[in-house]
Structures are given as structure tokens and as C-alpha cells.
């Protein structure tokens, strides 16, 4: 990646962090955003710093984290850098990660509930449901292990009593999916107020996943 490429990635991360708050899927200083950074001999990622207001954050405030966890930059990396690192390690197709405490997704996560296939757009997250990873203290390896497992075969998951993670080939696709997951969480929550939502069958969900695949909407940009 060229210096200009890295600069564009930095600007993209700052824009994405601000956009997630503007979209109402994150509030205050919680949440974080990262993008994979590949130089010739380096495989790591750029991530938002810990405890920073996004409107006050500039491109130079981001932190570089290497594959071994070594951080370089003017600030400490987000306290959740471990699950970012482990997702990039486990998922070579992932180019960007958005983590938010989106209100509706987090409400469901506080009930230890994932999102079942009540709506066909659940397939946008890569499978027949959106799982909820078990609770573990923020910033720990245990939480990271739970997150990687909940994301297996998926592009999004909830984190019990915490929030959600959405991944994508690019910052744009990760943010778009995070907004979609929050929209689905809100619709599921609303449906639960009225009754027990009726779920789509595995067969119907498989049809939708094949259709999405045909449209090329789910393929990582290479
Ligand atoms: Zn968090």
C-alpha cells in the first residue's frame, strides 16, 4: 500500500467513525473502527484511539497495530484492539471492522438474544441468523475469542450486554452492514412488542443467500 493509500484509509476511518454516530448507530465515545493496513512486510491495521471524541479526531490520531499486537501512534489504541486483530487474523477477506453500541442491537444483546431469520435481510449478515456472542469483560482475549466464534461464517454478530460488530471488505461495506443490522434489530424488537415473530424456514433463507450471491452483493471486493 502506498503512502497515499494509507492516507486515504486514515481519512476513511475518521469519516466512518463520524458517520456511525451521525447515523444514530453509536453514541459518544463508545464503538471503534479499523481497516486492514498492508505494506510490503507489514500486515496489521489502523484503528481509532481509545476514549477519543470522533468530531475531535484527525487522521493522525489513528493508531497502527501490528499482527503481534504492537501499537504505534500518538495515542493508545481502542481497548477492543484484540478482537479487531483476531478477526483480521481469522478472516483474510475482511478489510474493515465497525464496532458500535447501537441501541436496538444492544437491547437485544442485553437479553442474550441474537436475531433469528424473521426477515430475509438477515442473510445480508452472511447466514440464517445473527448470533449473540456470550458476555466477557470488554477488552479481554475472552471477548475476542467469543466474537471470532460468533462471526464464523457471518459478517456481523451481537456481543451480549455490550454491542455489535460488523465486518466488510471495505469501510463502506462494514458501515452499511452495521446500519442494516441495527435496522433489523429495531424491526425485530418492534415485532416482539406485538407478538412472537414468525421465522423464515432454512430453505427460504438458503434461497435468499443464493440470490444475494448471484447478485454479487455479498462477494468481497478484491
Ligand atoms: Zn464496545
In the predicted model, what is the mean pLDDT of the chain? 93
Residue 39 is predicted with a pLDDT of 74
Q: Determine the distance separating the centroid of ligand 1 and the alpha carbon of 59, expressed in angstroms.
A: 21
Global confidence as pTM: 0.94
Residue 178 has pLDDT above 50, yes or no: yes
Higher pLDDT, 124 or 222: 124
Q: Determine the distance separating the centroid of ligand 1 and the alpha carbon of 79, expressed in angstroms.
A: 8
Residue 124 has pLDDT above 60, yes or no: yes
Mean pLDDT, rounded, for 179-191: 98
Residue 31 has pLDDT above 60, yes or no: yes
Q: Determine the distance separating the centroid of ligand 1 and the alpha carbon of 190, expressed in angstroms.
A: 24
**80 is known as an active-site residue:** yes
Residue 103 is predicted with a pLDDT of 96
HEC profile of the chain: CCHHHHHHHHHHHHHHHHHHHHCCCCCCCCCEEEEEEEECCEEEEEECECCCCHHHCCHHHCEEEECCCCEECCCCECCCHHHHHHHHHHCCCCCEEEEECCHHHHHHHCCCCCECCCCHHHHHHCCCCECEECCCCCCCHHHHHHHHHHCCCCCEEEECCCEEEEEECCHHHHHHHHHHHHHHHHHHHHHHHHCCCCCCCHHHHHHHHHHHHHHCCCCCCC
Amino acid at each position: 500500500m502506498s503512502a497515499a493509500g494509507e492516507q486515504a484509509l486514515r481519512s476513511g476511518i475518521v469519516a466512518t467513525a463520524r458517520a456511525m454516530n451521525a447515523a444514530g448507530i453509536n453514541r459518544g465515545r463508545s464503538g471503534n473502527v479499523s481497516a486492514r493496513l498492508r505494506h510490503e512486510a507489514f500486515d496489521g491495521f489502523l484503528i481509532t484511539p481509545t476514549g477519543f471524541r470522533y468530531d475531535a479526531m484527525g487522521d493522525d490520531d489513528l493508531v497502527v497495530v501490528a499482527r503481534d499486537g504492537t501499537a504505534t501512534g500518538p495515542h493508545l489504541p481502542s481497548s477492543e484492539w484484540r478482537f479487531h486483530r483476531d478477526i483480521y487474523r481469522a478472516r483474510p477477506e475482511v478489510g474493515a471492522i465497525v464496532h458500535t453500541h447501537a441501541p436496538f442491537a444492544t437491547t437485544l444483546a442485553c437479553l442474550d438474544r441474537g436475531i433469528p431469520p424473521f426477515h430475509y435481510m438477515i442473510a445480508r449478515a452472511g447466514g440464517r441468523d445473527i448470533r449473540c456472542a456470550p458476555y466477557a469483560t470488554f477488552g479481554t482475549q475472552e471477548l475476542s475469542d467469543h466474537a471470532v466464534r460468533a462471526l464464523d461464517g457471518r459478517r456481523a454478530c451481537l456481543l451480549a450486554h455490550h454491542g455489535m460488530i460488523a465486518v466488510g471488505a471495505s469501510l463502506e461495506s462494514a458501515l452499511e452492514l452495521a446500519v442494516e443490522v441495527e435496522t433489523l434489530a429495531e424491526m425485530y424488537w418492534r415485532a416482539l412488542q406485538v407478538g412472537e415473530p414468525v421465522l423464515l424456514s432454512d430453505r427460504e433463507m438458503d434461497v435468499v443467500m443464493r440470490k444475494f450471491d448471484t447478485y454479487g452483493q455479498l462477494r468481497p471486493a478484491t
